[in-house]
């Protein structure tokens, strides 16, 4: 009986965990406690960055272990008690050649794919279909959709007292210190150009799942781009120290279908809060159905 109850408790816990991860996966990606890796990539660029990081580990790990072994060997082999009379060797030609040529070859193996990745980051694969201007302020963001009829709004951290009014009380979906009052909404599988600038001090527009991080400099407009491949809600933050509330300057991007985006954009030009609530209701309803189906 005790064994049966233990198994039942385990299955219930597993079911709860499955439901939790089903719900969070439907809402895309965000930081999690004790995270040791990158957030799951939502763009091809982020997959390339992740792949390059894994590639460099094939060099970092062996070099670290080799240096550790050499240090340990030298400490043990050439300690004072074992070598009362120190060696007089001043140089060794073979060793000089090895530790000069070796690092050069290793750096070439790292540099060539690094340059390719850097080039890809500044070379979009297609012309952008949507352009958004992101302006950093202390400590919020202004977004301007450069469409036929321009849409402009501010996005700031969501205060706890405003959660109920905004319909964002679920902290698994809208986490504390990351949720905002108005998300940047973009269509899925659409090349999106982001023009980044600032009004006061230097900020930085960063979205880990998209593999983008671009400084927002007053008086200057920088450009970055992304093509999100998965619908959901993604979180980033200002990644440049910008004052006392730097830690309270989140970025939230909601990726939706093309139809949902067009409907939201048309409604947001006259009623942004209403358009956001309608979109949230539709997206949350779809996610509940998806989670129940799992």
* Region(s) of the chain under CATH 1.10.287.90: 44-121
The Cα–Cα gap between 252 and 197 comes to 17
Highest CATH level, class, for 44-121: mainly alpha
Q: pLDDT of the chain along its 294 residues, tens only?
A: 444 334 444 334 433 333 333 344 445 678 888 888 888 899 999 999 999 999 999 999 999 999 999 999 989 988 888 888 877 778 888 888 998 999 999 999 999 999 999 999 988 888 999 999 999 999 999 999 998 888 999 999 999 999 999 889 888 889 999 999 999 999 999 999 999 999 999 999 999 999 999 999 999 999 999 999 999 999 999 999 999 999 999 999 999 999 999 999 999 999 999 999 999 988 877 665 444 454
Give 214's contacts (C-beta < 8 A, 6+ positions apart): 194, 196, 204, 205, 206, 222, 223, 224
Answer whether 232's CB lies under 8 Å from 29's CB.
yes
**Which of 157, 120, 139 has its CA nearest to residue 204?**
139
Q: Kindly state the helix (H) or strand (E) to which residue 255 belongs, with its residue range.
A: strand 250-256
The neighbour count for residue 204, using CB atoms within 10 Å, is 23
Sheet of strand 151-155, all strands in order from the earlier edge strand to the far edge: 151-155, 140-145, 130-137, 192-198, 222-226
The Cα–Cα gap between 45 and 117 comes to 8
List the alpha helices (DSSP H) in 87-174: 93-121, 163-166
Is beta strand 130-137 parallel, antiparallel or unpaired with respect to 192-198?
Answer: parallel
The Cα–Cα gap between 59 and 48 comes to 17
* Region(s) of the chain under CATH 2.60.40.420: 130-293
Question: Residue 288: what pLDDT?
Answer: 56
Question: Residue 287: what pLDDT?
Answer: 64
What is the topology classification, in CATH, of domain 130-293? Immunoglobulin-like (2.60.40)
pTM recorded for the entire structure: 0.79
The Cα–Cα gap between 275 and 12 comes to 38
Answer whether 67's CB lies under 8 Å from 61's CB.
no
> Residue 227 phi/psi, 5° resolution?
-135, 90
């Amino acid at each position: 009986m005790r064994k049966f109850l233990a198994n039942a408790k385990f299955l219930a816990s597993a079911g709860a965990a499955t439901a939790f991860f089903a719900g969070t996966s439907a809402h895309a990606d965000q930081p999690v406690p004790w995270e040791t890796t990158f957030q799951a990539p939502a763009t091809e660029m982020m997959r390339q960055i992740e792949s390059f990081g894994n590639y460099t580990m094939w060099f970092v790990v062996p070099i670290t272990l080799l240096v550790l072994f050499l240090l340990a060997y030298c400490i043990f082999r050439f300690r004072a008690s074992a070598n009362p009379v120190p060696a007089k060797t001043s140089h060794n030609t073979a060793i000089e050649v090895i530790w000069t040529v070796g690092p050069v070859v290793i750096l070439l193996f790292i540099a060539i794919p690094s340059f390719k990745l850097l080039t890809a980051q500044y070379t979009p694969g297609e012309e952008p279909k949507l352009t958004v201007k992101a302006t950093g302020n202390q400590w919020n963001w202004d977004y301007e959709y450069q469409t036929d009829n321009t849409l402009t709004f501010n996005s700031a951290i969501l205060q706890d007292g405003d959660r109920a009014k905004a319909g964002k009380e679920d902290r698994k979906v809208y986490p504390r210190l990351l949720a905002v009052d108005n998300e940047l909404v973009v269509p899925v599988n659409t090349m999106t150009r982001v023009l980044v600038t600032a009004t006061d001090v230097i900020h930085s527009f960063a979205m880990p799942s998209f593999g983008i991080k671009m400084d927002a400099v007053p008086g200057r407009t920088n450009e970055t781009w992304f093509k999100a491949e998965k619908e959901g809600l993604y979180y980033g933050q200002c990644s440049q120290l910008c004052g006392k509330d730097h830690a309270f300057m989140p970025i939230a991007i909601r990726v939706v279908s093309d139809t949902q985006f067009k409907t939201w954009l048309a409604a947001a030009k006259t009623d942004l809060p209403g358009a956001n609530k309608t979109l949230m209701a539709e997206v949350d309803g779809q996610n509940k159905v998806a989670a129940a189906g799992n």
